[in-house]
Amino acid sequence: MINYVIEAIKARRSIRSYSDQPVSKELIEQILDAGRAAPSALNTQPWKFVIITDRRLIGELSSSIKSFMKRLYAFLPILRIFIGELRDEKTAGAVKRTALGEGDTVFYKAPLLILIVSEDKGRWVSVNCALAAENMMLAAHSLGLGSCFIGKGSFMTKCGFPLEKLGIGRRHELEASLIFGYPKEFPKNAPERTTDNVVRRCE
């Protein structure tokens, strides 16, 4: 018997290449419903969802973040001395690809960008919002859509883009940036998952 939840978890991929086909309002609502259904500590539901389908606006935001990443890359040799994360070759490589790559290397011309923001500064807010984000990406997969969690989207709070254009005020904290759309191509094979030293059994 097929367990469709487990199949969806194993089959979902991070997609970074999208067709021009827009995501319908009906599908967006289903994705949002999946986010709202996520568990949260004490049922606080701290999330707010910012829906962006204006391609021009997504492009402006992407360009602002990319410009910031170019400045970051220019000072990378110095920053690596003080920021341990940047000494990781994979992280440094990602910064380089974003800064120097052609086209939209931030949101990959996705037709739908959903930001998860919060106003509550409570201890579990980021965890709660991450749970909502995973629900939304799994729901998107089940609906035939691709998705990707864009970590570099966090730089939108530092790149000088006027966030009030997105309805995000000073009290808001950006928790996640998610892109959605119809994949141009869908990778069949998942990156290898390690099984070494990740499980400890107390039996």
- Give pLDDT, residue 99: 95
- Of all residues in the chain, the percent with pLDDT exceeding 90 is 78
Question: How does pLDDT run across 112-131, given as a tens digit for each residue?
Answer: 999 999 987 788 999 999 99
181 φ, ψ to 5°? 170, -175
Express each pLDDT in 25-78 by its tens digit.
999 999 999 999 999 999 999 999 999 999 999 999 999 999 999 999 999 999
Phi-psi region of 150 (alpha: psi -120 to 50; beta: other; left: phi over 0): beta
Q: Which helix (H) or strand (E) holds 31?
A: helix 25-36
Please, what are the domains in the chain? 13-181 (3.40.109.10)
| pLDDT tens digits along 148-160 | 999 999 999 889 8
pLDDT of residue 199: 83
Q: How far apart are CA 151 and CA 85, in angstroms?
A: 13
Residues 6+ apart with CB under 8 A from 173: 117, 118, 119, 121, 125
pTM passes above 0.75? yes
- How many whole angstroms separate alpha carbon 131 and alpha carbon 117? 13
